[in-house]
Amino acid sequence: MEEQSMNMPLLGDRFPEMTVTTTHGEMNLPSDLEGNWFVLFSHPADFTPVCTTEFVGFQNRIEEFEKMGVKLIGMSVDQIFSHIKWIQWIKEELNIDITFPVIAANDSIANKLGMLHPGKGTNTVRAVFIVDPKGQVRLTLYYPQEIGRNMDEVVRAVKALKLSDENGVAVPANWPENDLIQDKVIIPPPKTQEGAEARLKEYEGYDWWFCYKKL
């Protein structure tokens, strides 16, 4: 098991091929979602308070994900029957309809993604994988069992990755509200001395290696 857990995908790796059982039926990842960005997030257990707040948080932002063409998928090692009942409870008690699929993972699947929580038995960690249309892992986030995630940061990260890919730029801290350059984006530094000398004539910036523009 320990050897398997070391095979968790790194940034730039292809998301591991797996056939999974979900509340929407069987899926093959990442092949079924080829051509789409997707966010897969795991939670420690169904019917737990922090996880419930996270499911509501993700569902409340589902339109933002959909506008970006991003699929959202939940996951834990709970059985599919538990997922279904929990989703029903959220609908009945909180009036929130969970519309994204939730994977019922086994230990093998969880280990492929490095998701089993050390020292917490079979609970899965609060992991987030952002995967691009080519099936490559572009960003991972890990939170401990005791702390819920910030869904707005997941939305921001997807927007930033898409913007970076589409425009060949880097995105500053806290974008689009950066302390120095607000919603502007960073131009990749030049690779020649000639390019360095010309850079500040082409763009605004603090120095030739720190130039930026507004999209």
Active site residues: 51
Residue among 7, 12, 32 nearest 110 (CA): 7
- Gyration radius of the chain over CA positions: 20
Measure Cα distances from 54 to 18, 74, 139 in Å.
25, 10, 19
Q: How far apart are CA 106 and CA 95, in angstroms?
A: 29
Q: At CB < 8 A and 24+ separation, what contacts does 159-164 make?
A: 159/68, 161/37, 161/130, 161/132, 162/37, 162/68, 163/215
Q: How far apart are CA 114 and CA 7, in angstroms?
A: 7
